[in-house]
Structure 1
Amino acid sequence: MSYELPSPPANLPTEIVNTLNESTPERLRDVATYAEALAEHKEGESRLEKSADQDEVEERPDDLPDDVPSKATITTKEINDNRYYYWQWRDGEKIRSQYKGPVNPNE
């Protein structure tokens, strides 16, 4: 362990460097933990924004109803020995479905 004061990054504002230099080791560890968690959160938000931008660019399938989001996928459900297609998507904590039509057994 070095007893010399470490050099701060050049792009760190002086007022932050001064505040950190005046802080206790416990507070510095708390700041480090918070800064790491905050960085991960902001990186995650950035990825979500990029993903949302890409989703907006994607074209909607021609047979997608107006009230079904473009992120919906097609699933198959069997009811009374008959198979049907449904649009399905996540809406918050819920899974939503909308009827698409019967499955053609010749496909």
Structure 2
Amino acid sequence: MSYESPTPPTNLPTEIVTALNEFTPDRLQDVAMYAEELAEHKEREVRLEEEPDQDEGEERPDDLPDDVPAKATITIKEINDNRYYYWQWREGEKVTSKYKGPVNADE
């Protein structure tokens, strides 16, 4: 790790770089975690928009709850250093999630 301050990406607006430079290390960790989760959420939204709608006749996975559509995908969320599976699907403009269970450490 270098003792010099990191160089920000050239495409990052100056006002964001200035604001980040004023944050404490704890606040920067919070921003980093939020930014990563937000990026994953937006990527997932794009992916869900690009996926073709599944036909109603397709088979449902055995572990898919009745109130979760067959087009749902599984995503992993990390909360307080614990990882959990969630079913996730799009309802119009909204992305809906439903808890599935913890991620096994063996996986």
TM-score interval, normalised by the smaller of the two chains: 0.5 to 0.7
Letter in 1 for 2:38: L
Counterpart for residue 96 of structure 2: none
Q: Quick one: percent identity of the two aligned structures?
A: 60
In the TM superposition, what is the alpha-carbon distance from 1:2 to its structure 2 partner? 1.8
CA RMSD of aligned residues (A): 2.5
Alpha-carbon distance in structure 2 between the residues aligned to 1:94 and 1:13: 40
Q: Does 1:72 align with 2:56?
A: yes
Structure 1 spans left out of the alignment, 5+ residues: 56-69, 76-89, 96-107
Higher relative contact order (CA 8 A, sep 6+): 2
Q: Does 1:5 align with 2:9?
A: no
Superimposed CA distance per residue, residues 15-40 of structure 1 (whole angstroms, 9 cap, x where no aligned partner): 00000001000000000000000000
Counterpart for residue 31 of structure 2: 31
Q: Does 1:93 align with 2:68?
A: yes
Counterpart for residue 20 of structure 1: 20
Alpha-carbon distance in structure 2 between the residues aligned to 1:46 and 1:5: 34
Residues 46 and 91 of structure 1: CA distance in aligned 2, closer, same or farther (over 3 Å): farther
Alpha-carbon distance in structure 1 between the residues aligned to 2:68 and 2:43: 23
Query: Size of the alignment, in residue pairs?
Result: 65
In the TM superposition, what is the alpha-carbon distance from 1:93 to its structure 2 partner? 3.1
Alpha-carbon distance in structure 1 between the residues aligned to 2:44 and 2:32: 18
Alpha-carbon distance in structure 1 between the residues aligned to 2:34 and 2:18: 18
Letter in 2 for 1:29: Q
Structure 2 spans left out of the alignment, 5+ residues: 60-64, 71-107
Alpha-carbon distance in structure 2 between the residues aligned to 1:11 and 1:72: 44
TM-score by length of 1: 0.53
